[in-house]
Structure 1
Amino acid sequence: MATKHVASSSRISTSKFPKDLCLRVCGQPFMLNSNIIASKSAKLDKLLKENHVEDVPRLLGDIRADPNTFMIVARFCYGYEINITTENVIRVCCVADYLEMTDSHSLNNLLLKAITFFKEDVIPFWDSSVIALKSAENVFQQVLHLGLIDALFESIIEKVLADPCLLGKPIKCMTFDAYGEKYDDPYRPNARRRLFGSNLISEDLATLSVQLYELMIHDMILHQVPLEYVAASLCQYVENWVSAASQVEGDISFARWMSQRAAIEAVERLLPHERGLVPCNLLFEMLQFSIALEATTDCRNGFEVRIGKQLDQATVNDLLIPCFGYAREQEYDTDCIRRILKHFYSNLSSPYNSSRLKVAELVEKYLAEVASDVNLKKSTFVSLAEMAFAASIKTQRLSDGLYRAISIYLDNHTYLTEYEKEDVCKLLDCSKMSPEACEHAATNKRLPLRIVVNVLFVHQLHLRDTFLKEVSSSDDGLVKPLEEEILKGVGRSSKDRSMVEMERMNCKVQELEKECSALKKELCGASGSRLKRDKGAVWIKMKRKFRCISTTQDHDNCHMKKIKVHPK
């Protein structure tokens, strides 16, 4: 640590001079000799010449300095050896300037000696510059006019431009799938492990107060310091001042809460908007801090916008933002996710790219997670489902994910009416469901009857297609007679065949809907202890009617029955 020993040109015997001057420093009294102090301080010399010594303390007031620093100044006035260090040089300059301890009043005075030490032993070195800047936090306004703060800023920025790694190594964004599993990529190290390490050094800029740090980073951005290094420093600042402080046991004091909120708001103002500078999971953490600390709306919105630009890098766990506050109506903050989704869609460069499909899958899995919340409103669920559905339009993506979320929601919201269930299921495209999903849906008693009818019909088509493929692989000669049997009476042109097939399918759906309506009335007519038994029997009857299951007697012929739709 840089230290300079300074001694006065002559020793003064303090015993020969009475202590007739009482000065107060932060409320602490210092008994001094007026003549000795006046010999070095032009300010006190003027006051003593114009006023009685007993009136000087009242006129001078409370000196704005810490007692330890003033003790150094007093020792210098008495001719004792003093230590000027990197930690105290700024504060010594502040007191010496306030008392006007300049060379115009006394040669080799304290202010010039302190400034000389500052220029020779602080400015040239990174560690010394950061430590000196940190020591100026409490006297920032008093020392600002001396130009020392500007000199420190220029020195630090110059060193960062020469070596940006002084701010920390850039954070590489991790690549995750929707389940939270990262892709194998040797060039993308674990950002959290590197960023949130505990081996910090005191000379790190992230240890500065919010006021000094914000000014410093702002100047760095103006001087075009590479943004990836700026982002690394900002993430470390959040870890130092917000995340680490939040993990302290016990209640957080109001002062600490305010400092945390000021820190997260400053980071949001400084954080660049470019995509990929900060991993998406860290942006979500910052957003949760801003919500929990009740930061400004602009702060929270700023994080949401940045997340929206790289939402395809998020995982389901990132999206599970808990609702804060005592009067929360649901477990997760779905309104926040909806806003983020809107920001994502507004930033898409093309309507159907890989990012859109990743987010569609992500939202479906998010829906499945939040669907179990019994307090989740139907309108909120439907709104999120619409966003997921919009991303899958005109793609080959299956609707299994959406069906799974709907099934979980209906299982946990049994109070919904038949009409409300149909509203929840309105986005479900049964034609895009896999055979496995159709098989599950066919026996799902939570689904409304209209959806079950559509699922059963689609399931029948799946069974027919599966059977045709099996027959085709075993005996190619059998396929043509079967196809001719199914398409009998249809014209030769492909257009006519398609029209007839569509008309036949529509008729089948109408027939199934009529039969289901009759079954529904039969269910409604059941009463008392028979209701539960009859309901199960009707479901079995309906599934057997639509050939989802078969009796023991016709088990061997069930496949052929499903194929012969148009008998000769």
Structure 2
Amino acid sequence: MWESESERGGSRRDHGNGSLESSKHESLKTDGFQRRDQSWFVSSDIPSDLLVKVGDVNFHLHKYPLLSRSGRMNRIIYESSRDIEVNRVELDDLPGSSEAFELAAKFCYGIAVDLTASNISGLRCAAEYLEMTEDLEEGNLIFKTEAFLSYVVLSSWRDSIVVLKSCENLSPWAENLQIVRRCSESIAWKACANPRGIRWAYTGRPAKTSSPKWSNNNDSKESSPSRSQPVPPDWWFEDVAILRIDHFVRVITAIKVKGMRYELIGAAIMQYASKWLPGLSKDTPGHQSGDDTWSHSEGLHMIVAGAGAGTGNKDDHTGSQIKEQRMIIESLISIIPPQKDCVTCSFLLCLLRVANMLKVAPALVTELEKRVGMLFEQATLHDLLIPSYNKSETLYDVDLVQRLLEHFLVQEQTEGSSPGRSEGFSEKHGHGYETSIPRGSGPNAKMRVARLLDSYLTEVSRDRNLSLTKFQVLAEALPESARTCDDGLYRAVDSYLKAHPMISEHERKRLCRVMDCQKLSIDACMHAAQNERLPLRVVVQVLFSEQVKISNAIASSALKEAGDSHYQPMVSTRKQLLEGTPQSFQEGWAAAKKDINTLKFELESMKAKYLELQNDMDVLQRQFEKMTSSKPAKQTSSAWTSGWKKLSKLAKPASGEAHEMGSQAGGAVVNEQTRKGPRRWRNSIS
């Protein structure tokens, strides 16, 4: 920390630092103050004539020492004593409470007062409240406390932090007296100063040598070891993290103005969040923003869950906790630097999770969602599994992920349309530091987001309340070029079908349209071919696409060996596959193919039976002709003969038609007589 003269040992009288005495010799002799229970008494031979009550503490004092130095006490006592003598004064609104008034009273009595960083802010505000100005006496308390603040406190890093921390209970006095502003600017100036001006004693961070010290001695022997031990850039994180959120915001704002590197500001914000938000935690130590892994703990869940439990003070305490956490979240969102990589995506998503839990202002939540969209490719599955806090039917907030994905696509489109955004550039910040800011991530970012989205869909698809529409919209949000392989999407589809066995056949077909069978690997195709949950049409498309891949591979290999480079592969995209096959045939072609094969078999059997019957008839015909050739001509014109002749005439054209029907069935064309066949065949090809 920064070291003042008081820390290095030295003591100055008057307004230096150590003790502070009144310069005027008092006729009232006193040996000091004594405390008995909740009351202070002056050790003096003269009895006290004034009781001052500050809070629960009573001060038995004398009027003259207070009146000689306090304008406020003058007004209270003399203006009110016109009607009745005032012997009792209550100062319940005095800043700094009874501790500050005790020091002010001792100063009025000429007793030495030790000024420290812990009591100076309260004493300065109390002096202003009591109106202890130079008009009453030269070197009054306001002058002396101001001198200590300006010459001692603001030159010391440690004292500035301690004073700013002590101002938390002094609003609005500390603000009006510019104590907060001056301390914030002093801290910002020292945090942004050149690290070479800091003498760093770092030996495992023991008690008295764990912080940097300001050194102006160029030839100091103590400064030489520091040159071999460089000051870490995050040395100021832990000190500013102890401040209240409004004072932390003031410090960070002042640091921004002075040109601190944005990644260090972001790391300081993450350090502060890990300390003050029970819903956030870091899995790994360290302060580098790129190495931090953030996760969500259950601390804030208990606060929110207990908001309605209990009665009385417990409810008030829980409500104040939630209000404080909400204020911290909103303040941190507002001070995050606008640069893309100043904080990690995991931290932003954890912040977003807690913001939704605490019902933070919608405008700030939207701003946070846009920030997440800028870094969406860096997210992990655990980060995206954010519970739904808005009474949604689904377990996880799928709508939130949909909005994050939309912000990511808008950001990618904006970066892609801007010239030179895909290349990084260097930018100089304060203190000569130089950083490279990546611009645009191109198709690689979309591919990473596609893999992340497929894993998220697989996880949320197990939710029985997840509607098919939400699943389909989220799966189709990315362009087709973002996925080179649809195995992850197929896994999500199969998981959804397994968790929703009661959906209709039409909904199954609609669900399977989100994936491209052409982009499935061999293992996925083998699994899909045996998956009974998939519609038959999808199984056929998977088999056909795999057959096309094999045919293309064989043909390509053969032509490559032959030296032919003009080979055009077969159907390679799902669009061409669907356009090349009529819709009516796609829907029922598997059943029709089975009917065609059955009909072919039956037709061949009928042809064999017909030929056998015709041979038997020819034999009978020849036998009959032999019998009739030896009989008279009269008997040949009998009814039996005429019947056989008619049968023979009908058999010849029937034989020709059977041969014609057989040839046309092989070419998948049916004639008029085949259409009059079984009802099943006509329905199967319609």
Q: Quickly name the TM-score band, shorter chain normalised.
A: 0.7 to 0.9
Change (3 A) 1:345 1:244: closer
Match of 2:515?
Answer: 428
Q: Matches of 1:373 and 1:504 in 2, distance apart? A: 32
Change (3 A) 1:228 1:498: closer
Change (3 A) 1:215 1:54: farther
Please state if 1:18 is matched with 2:47. yes
Match of 2:624?
Answer: none
- Of 325, 331, 338, the residue aligned with 1:260 is 325
Give deviations 1:57-94, integer Å, cap 9, x for gaps: 56866433321221111222223222211011011010
> How far 1:386 sits from its partner (Å)?
0.7
Please state if 1:350 is matched with 2:407. no
> How far 1:40 sits from its partner (Å)?
2.2
> How far 1:278 sits from its partner (Å)?
0.8
> How far 1:334 sits from its partner (Å)?
1.0
The SS at the match of 1:373 is coil
Q: Matches of 1:297 and 1:503 in 2, distance apart? A: 47
Q: Matches of 1:271 and 1:294 in 2, distance apart? A: 19
Change (3 A) 1:115 1:504: closer
Match of 2:239?
Answer: 204
Match of 2:387?
Answer: 322
Q: Matches of 1:505 and 1:47 in 2, distance apart? A: 96
Contact 1:365 1:401 in 2 (8 A): yes
> How far 1:275 sits from its partner (Å)?
1.1
Contact 1:86 1:132 in 2 (8 A): yes
Change (3 A) 1:256 1:161: same
The SS at the match of 2:18 is strand
Contact 1:164 1:225 in 2 (8 A): no
Q: Matches of 2:135 and 2:594 in 1, distance apart? A: 104
The SS at the match of 2:534 is coil
The SS at the match of 2:172 is helix
Please state if 1:162 is matched with 2:193. yes
Query: Which amino acid in structure 1 is aligned with residue 454 of structure 2?
Result: E
Change (3 A) 1:202 1:516: closer
Counting only pairs closer than 5 Å after superposition, residues 26-41 of structure 1 correspond to structure 2 as 26-41=55-70
Match of 1:139?
Answer: 170
Contact 2:556 2:567 in 1 (8 A): no
> How far 1:158 sits from its partner (Å)?
1.9
Q: Matches of 1:503 and 1:62 in 2, distance apart? A: 83
Please state if 1:373 is matched with 2:404. no
- Of 124, 144, 167, the residue aligned with 1:113 is 144
Change (3 A) 1:33 1:435: same
Q: Matches of 2:594 and 2:184 in 1, distance apart? A: 78
Change (3 A) 1:405 1:61: closer
Match of 2:532?
Answer: 445
The SS at the match of 2:103 is helix
> How far 1:397 sits from its partner (Å)?
0.6
Deviates more, 1:18-27 or 1:429-438: 18-27
Query: Which amino acid in structure 1 is aligned with residue 373 of structure 2?
Result: G
Please state if 1:516 is matched with 2:590. yes
- Of 20, 24, 45, the residue aligned with 1:6 is 20
Match of 1:179?
Answer: none
Give deviations 1:235-272, integer Å, cap 9, x for gaps: 11211211378766965722122111101100000102
Change (3 A) 1:386 1:233: same
> How far 1:122 sits from its partner (Å)?
0.6
- Of 273, 296, 300, the residue aligned with 1:238 is 273
Contact 1:21 1:54 in 2 (8 A): no
The SS at the match of 1:40 is coil
Deviates more, 1:11-20 or 1:36-45: 11-20
Match of 1:104?
Answer: 135
- Of 310, 314, 335, the residue aligned with 1:270 is 335
Please state if 1:340 is matched with 2:369. no
Please state if 1:221 is matched with 2:256. yes
State which structure, 1 or 2, has the greater radius of gyration over its C-alpha atoms.
Answer: 2
Contact 1:27 1:62 in 2 (8 A): no
The SS at the match of 1:428 is coil
Deviates more, 1:1-10 or 1:407-416: 1-10
> How far 1:128 sits from its partner (Å)?
1.0
The SS at the match of 1:262 is helix
Contact 1:367 1:381 in 2 (8 A): yes
Structure 1 gap segments, 5+ residues each: 167-193, 481-492, 522-540, 542-565
Contact 2:185 2:254 in 1 (8 A): no
Match of 1:90?
Answer: 121
Counting only pairs closer than 5 Å after superposition, residues 274-289 of structure 1 correspond to structure 2 as 274-289=339-354
Structure 2 gap segments, 5+ residues each: 1-5, 8-16, 31-42, 198-231, 281-296, 307-317, 418-441, 599-666, 668-686
Please state if 1:419 is matched with 2:506. yes
> How far 1:510 sits from its partner (Å)?
6.8
> How far 1:512 sits from its partner (Å)?
6.6
Change (3 A) 1:280 1:504: closer
Contact 1:92 1:114 in 2 (8 A): yes
Give deviations 1:321-346, integer Å, cap 9, x for gaps: 12236x44222111111111111000
Give deviations 1:134-158, integer Å, cap 9, x for gaps: 1112213113333333322332222
Change (3 A) 1:354 1:43: same
The SS at the match of 1:236 is helix
Q: Matches of 1:150 and 1:85 in 2, distance apart? A: 19
Change (3 A) 1:295 1:495: closer
Deviates more, 1:95-104 or 1:239-248: 239-248
Match of 2:494?
Answer: 407
Query: Which amino acid in structure 2 is aligned with residue 385 of structure 1?
Result: A
The SS at the match of 1:382 is helix
Q: Of Structure 1 and Structure 2, which has the larger fraction of its residues in helix?
A: 1
The SS at the match of 1:136 is helix
Higher relative contact order (CA 8 A, sep 6+): 1
Q: Matches of 1:271 and 1:498 in 2, distance apart? A: 51
> How far 1:309 sits from its partner (Å)?
0.6
Give deviations 1:192-242, integer Å, cap 9, x for gaps: xx99x9xx9897112211222222322332343322222122111211211
Q: Matches of 2:577 and 2:267 in 1, distance apart? A: 63
Q: Matches of 1:165 and 1:324 in 2, distance apart? A: 49
Question: TM-score, normalised to structure 2's length?
Answer: 0.62
> How far 1:404 sits from its partner (Å)?
1.2
The SS at the match of 2:171 is helix
Q: Matches of 1:242 and 1:113 in 2, distance apart? A: 39
Change (3 A) 1:515 1:270: same
The SS at the match of 2:126 is helix
Query: Which amino acid in structure 2 is aligned with residue 400 of structure 1?
Result: D
Question: TM-score, normalised to structure 1's length?
Answer: 0.74
Match of 1:313?
Answer: 378
Q: Matches of 2:169 and 2:53 in 1, distance apart? A: 18
Contact 1:25 1:65 in 2 (8 A): no
The SS at the match of 1:24 is strand
Contact 2:279 2:354 in 1 (8 A): no
Give deviations 1:10-49, integer Å, cap 9, x for gaps: 4623423332222222343322222222122122123323
Change (3 A) 1:353 1:321: same
The SS at the match of 1:353 is helix
Contact 1:315 1:362 in 2 (8 A): yes
Contact 1:25 1:67 in 2 (8 A): yes
Contact 1:441 1:455 in 2 (8 A): yes
